[in-house]
A = this chain, B = another copy of it.
């Protein structure tokens, strides 16, 4: 059993940390009147960035929207049921995928810079989109938990006019929005009773 001695023991998350990220954390629908600082928003990304993506490509892009003119421009593209939440959120993140993420491959995958060529050109546009969507959505999962790691509540939404948001904030067409996340401290009656999760037998199979 020499392998055991050679294997570094990895730390586990205690119940308190599990509660903060998973078991007690909730999607917030109302917000306290407490600002979220630019430093907090930068720090969320600095934490989320370390979790893995295919070939380290990191295609997620983040537009942080603060109260004021920027938030007004965003709110008009939200679904009616989401307008009030975003209108009152102290900070909002628009998550987008970069359709030209491969331009960064020589930087992020320096041992094989030529991998960039596999994604280049119109012939590979579909491959770029599927790679970028999958990996940026994976990063969205990390991002939501990184918000929670900062003692903040997240309110992720897919109910918005993505084409409208893109025309408003990403007019050159390179970034495509796919999720909007309200960020802040929870307000009064911030959440509904918790909804049921599927039973294990509906999710897990074994081989």
Contact = CB atoms under 8 A, between A and B. Distances in A.
Interface of A: 1, 3-4, 6-14, 16-23, 25, 27, 32-34, 38, 41-42, 45-52, 54, 56, 58, 60-66, 69-71, 73-74, 104, 107-110, 133-134, 137-142, 144-146, 148-154, 156, 158, 169, 178, 185-188, 195-198, 200, 202-207
A198 B63 contact: no
For this chain, the copies found in one complex come to 2
B195 A108 contact: yes
Contact of A202 (B50, B104, B110): B104
Contacts of A153: 10
B27 A52 contact: yes
Nearest to A8: B186
A173 to B, nearest CB: 15
B22 A50 contact: yes
16 contacts: A3-B34, A4-B34, A7-B32, A7-B187, A9-B185, A10-B148, A13-B150, A17-B17, A22-B142, A23-B50, A51-B144, A58-B198, A60-B203, A64-B205, A64-B207, A66-B207
A193 to B, nearest CB: 10
Contacts of A203: 45, 49, 58, 60-62
Given A10-B20, A20-B13, A141-B137, A205 B146 contact: no
Given A52-B144, A56-B195, A139-B141, A10 B185 contact: yes
A52 B13 CA distance: 19
A39 to B, nearest CB: 12
Contacts of A47: 18, 22-23
A4 B186 CA distance: 10
B185 A66 contact: no
A138 to B, nearest CB: 5
